[in-house]
Amino acid sequence: MAYDYLKDLNEAQRAAVEYLDGPMMIIAGAGSGKTRALTYKIAYLIDSGLDPFRILALTFTNKAAREMKDRVLQLLGNTDAGNIWMGTFHSVCARLLRIYGSYLGYPPNFTIYDNDDSKGLLRTLVKEMNLDPKVYTASSLLHRISSAKTNLITPAEYAATTDFVQEDRKAHKPYFSEIFSRYNQRLHKAAAMDFDDLLFNMNVLLRDEPDVLYRLQQKFSYILVDEYQDTNYSQYLIVKKLAAQHESLCVVGDDAQSIYGFRGANIENILQLKNDYQELKLFKMEQNYRSTKTIVNAANSVISHNKDQIEKVIWTDNEEGCLLKLIKAGTDNEEGTLVANSIFETKMNQQLPHTSFAVLYRTNAQSRPLEEALRRLNIPYRIYGGLSFYQRKEVKDLLAYFRLVVNPLDEEALMRVINYPARGIGKTTMDRVVVLANENGLSVWDMLCRTGDMVREFNSGTRARIGEFVTLIRSFQTRLLKKDAFDLGRDIAAGAGLLKLLSEDKTPEGVSRYQNIEELLNGLREFTDTERPVEEENPLPFRTLDEYMQSVSLLTDLDTDDKEQTDRVTLMTIHSAKGLEFPYVYIVGLEENLFPSYLSMGSRQELEEERRLFYVALTRAEKQAVLSFARSRLRWGNFTFCEPSRFLAEIDPRFIEKPQGSRTRPDKAEDAAIPYASRPDLSKMKKVTPNTTGKAASDASQLAVGMRVKHERFGAGIIREIEGNPADLKATVLFDLAGEKKLLLRFARLDPID
């Protein structure tokens, strides 16, 4: 042995690394050195004489796999260590399927489709079947297919399941099962698998080919799984089957950091592992090396409210540290300003780099006021794991409509939106229009306006669709000087069909895109409500859309990444922050129905996942955690009162510094503490009173099928169905903009509309 690397470990880590007598689970708390323990475990296995070829290590990122393999090589100084089978579930399954895929009818060189490939195929199928692409959107189809495959449901089984078929009919997608079947057939015909097929087909292989299963069980005599709390049903079965022969299994994870339920992760995999392995040995790594005592104890006090968890007490020998800070803002716009000011002051006072700071939020849409506030102070930042707000496709699409209304000669904007949402004016048509425009010395817009000159070029249907688009844009142009920027912007978003299109996509990505459009309109409202600078002369009493476009173009121009500049504040969703750490962490938007999300109010399990998400956010901080909430937030252009998140009340008050005169719950004293200049126009606000009594928020006796109702988040809609027992009544509501939703009446607030 080159050197005694085990001396680098603490007592709990070393005990877990040295145990080789059967199945084991390492519960590794936040900042406890999980990656180190897993890496040293692999090194110890090889040092104990196990052939690296017989070790299978499954991780959740390829980057983690590379870093762990490199570290094992450094520890052992042994090139044979590079022969470990290490990678993500998908990469390892792809490697095995290239060897054994012939059993399932696939050649070794099968293609792997990414999401764009899959969506392209689905769009082709929808077109071939003459279905409405606005109903059968590629994103929603792929999301549902992915969900089915994750749960190992074949197209035939799906079509034979009455509940699934009925759900599709209610969603106005009765042909989904046929699309699913054709999609799989086309994949197989093309010798291709999509991302979910890698796990699905691995399960089929292990189920239907006992010789292959036996061979792999013999090959992998020791299996390690990282982030086990985030495994889904398909991954769980793969591990269980491969480990069945030897039961030499080591899983590492933390149930308190299980936050991917929306992707199919099942926390029961880690909570109930002892049911699969009677000889399971449990190890707990509870010492946190990352954070101060204050942060660790505050996080413990919050997560203790969860019922479903493995008992543990995270502790640290680090310094006591300062108390958690609380920022209370009047509006979400002011929240961005206060957070940016706090970052600037802390950085200057302590001479810190920008990389010391991270701002975490629940949804991507929350980045806009933060980005604008950071820009005003010339604080460089980067959006981690996503695009800057103004670079997101849906935002650029709506801005392109705005640009076209303001300047119809803007050909880039015109070409971007003329067939989005799809209106039957495709690329072939537009290519011909461009040629005609050039031949006649006209702009593309002017050519489109002369549909009467295109009789020989296009049929009446195409000319009619072009005419409808021209009329649509002209109708917006007539309102350019008659309506303020917000009112016209909202008209364009609705009239162009963007709101309807995005509201129909119920995938997590689709919901995020819809929220981003909402946030852009919020920015328009703020611009409209801000007085015009004195130097800007304009006879109109309100701020117009062309003024807004001039303003926003300055923001987008500054948004180009400078590759040379790496010292930036990090902005990211909490889901993206998993596994990362920063000296100073700001957690923003801590309000009921935002964090925890309104989508989590339907069950205790979902609410507990939101609490775990907050726990993950808090434990990213090393030195200081700053929490913030706004008393009001713009939602679709209207100010809405917000209640502070329940998670703030769950923090032991010993660990949080409250501003003078503040209380956990807002009251008149707290109102007085908000600077007058930042307070919103109360006449434009709606009071939201969250239901905390456990009683029904809506009186079911006043509701009936066919009745029009209004929901705080989703707006107006019609009740299509009411079902369930009296204590758990559910209403299916078809909302005008948000589409169909199923809501628990004891949590939802449905007000009848007269």
Residues taking part in catalysis? 34-35, 226-227, 257, 620
Peptide bond into 421 cis (omega under 30): yes
Percentages helix, strand, coil for the chain, rounded to the nearest 5?
Answer: 50, 15, 35
Identify the CA nearest to 507 among candidates 79, 166, 138: 138
Query: Under a CB-based contact definition with an 8 Å cutoff, are residues 339 and 373 in contact?
Result: yes
Q: Please tell me the distance from the alpha carbon of residue 239 to that of residue 250, in angstroms, as a whole number.
A: 11
Q: At 363, phi and psi to the nearest 5?
A: -130, 150
Is residue 381 a contact partner of residue 569, using CB atoms and an 8 Å limit?
A: yes
Q: Which residues contact 438 (CB under 8 A, 6 or more apart)?
A: none
* CB-CB contact of 523 with 368 (8 Å): yes
How does DSSP assign 513-529, residue by residue?
HHHHHHHHHHHHHHHHH
The amino acid at 750: L
Beta bridge partners of 88: 59
The tokens for 207 are 């189920």
Residue among 720, 751, 729, 711 nearest 171 (CA): 720
Cα 746 to the chain's mean position, in Å? 27
Task: Give Rg (Cα) of the chain.
Answer: 28
| Residue 564, amino acid | E
CA nearest neighbour of 751 among 674, 697, 705, 682: 697
Query: What is the residue whose two structure tokens read 């809501």?
Result: 743
Q: How many CB atoms lie within 10 A of CB 722?
A: 16
Helix spans in 101-194 (H): 115-128, 138-150, 155-159, 162-170, 176-189
